[in-house]
């Protein structure tokens, strides 16, 4: 997929392999960077072009963004990039999560790893929100489309690294890249949340996924404050 984004004077192209279970290989990234470099050379002598032409690779190489393009040049750039984005020889398997195994980037990325996906992402083992989660309140405060996408993220096991202390939940949600989520709950009901994703609407789909996953683990504290727990804990427990 290639997304076009108009940024006033300049535009950017977002190249995605998000739903294929693959990322761009080193060869693919090099080929896309060559397109970027050629375009940068093309506009170097144009005094009206006053920004850098950059290529940014996501935390996992599923998403690449090329920035600093004149909008009128976007069509030929999309055509050039599509030859790379649509070429499976420029991909390598990551295995998230459909293929069952996590693949490791290495000198030979075609060799799969040996870590089962359910071990790396335990949410794949249950996929059903616990009864302790107040789904009705969450639905009421969430735009329907975001709720459905967040529910899909939860069911796919995209919520990892969950820490739940008292009513404070922190988690990582794997979208096009990992996003950090912080949520405040009250007896299983959503109160407020923050997410590192670019979506300004709260709750976003990542917050929804984290709230749905909150019922999968038992909160530390059982109504006690962290300070009280530290005071009561034995040295061995600490």
Q: Note the pLDDT tens digit of each residue in 212-235.
A: 988 877 666 655 666 777 777 777
Torsion angle of C-alpha atoms 13, 26, 58, 20, degrees rounded to 10: 80
**Greater model confidence, 93 or 116:** 93
Is there a domain that residue 62 lies in? yes
Q: Note the pLDDT tens digit of each residue in 62-76.
A: 889 999 999 999 999
CB 183 within 8 A of CB 169: yes
Q: Are residues 8 and 77 in the same domain?
A: yes
Q: Return the exposure string of 52-88: e unless at least 16 CB atoms fall within 10 Å of the residue's CB, then b.
A: ebebebbebbbbbbbbbbbeeebeebbebbeebbeee
Query: For 94-98, what is the mean pLDDT?
Result: 49
In the chain, the number of structural domains is 2
Q: Is the pLDDT of residue 101 over 50?
A: no
Calpha distance 61→38 (Å, rounded)? 22
Q: Are residues 6 and 63 in the same domain?
A: yes
| Domain extent for 27 | 2-102
Query: Exposure of 211 by Cβ count < 10 A (0-12 exposed, 13-18 middle, 19+ buried)?
Result: buried
Least confident range of 50-59, 98-107, 124-133:
98-107
Query: For 98-108, what is the mean pLDDT?
Result: 41
Q: Are residues 32 and 62 in the same domain?
A: yes
């Amino acid at each position: 997929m290639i997304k076009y984004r108009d940024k006033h004077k300049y535009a950017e192209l977002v190249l995605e392999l998000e739903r294929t279970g693959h990322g761009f290989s080193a060869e693919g990234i090099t080929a896309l960077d060559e397109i970027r470099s050629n375009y940068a050379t093309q506009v170097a002598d144009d005094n009206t072009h006053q920004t850098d032409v950059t290529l940014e690779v996501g935390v996992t190489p599923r998403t690449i963004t090329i920035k600093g393009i004149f909008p009128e040049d976007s069509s030929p750039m999309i055509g050039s990039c599509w030859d790379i984005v649509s070429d499976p020889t420029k991909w390598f398997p990551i295995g998230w999560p459909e293929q069952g195994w996590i693949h490791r980037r290495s000198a030979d990325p075609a060799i799969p790893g040996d870590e089962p996906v359910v071990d790396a992402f335990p949410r794949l083992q249950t996929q059903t929100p616990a009864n302790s989660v107040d789904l009705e309140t969450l639905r009421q405060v969430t735009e329907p489309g975001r709720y459905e996408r967040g529910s899909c993220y939860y069911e796919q096991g995209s919520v990892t690294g969950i820490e739940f202390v008292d009513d404070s939940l922190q988690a990582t949600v794997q979208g096009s890249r990992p996003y950090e989520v912080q949520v405040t709950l009250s007896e299983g009901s959503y109160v407020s949340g923050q997410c590192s994703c670019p979506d300004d609407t709260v709750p976003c789909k990542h917050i929804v996924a984290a709230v749905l996953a909150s019922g999968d683990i038992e909160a530390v504290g059982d109504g006690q404050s962290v300070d009280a727990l530290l005071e009561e804990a034995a040295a061995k427990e600490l």
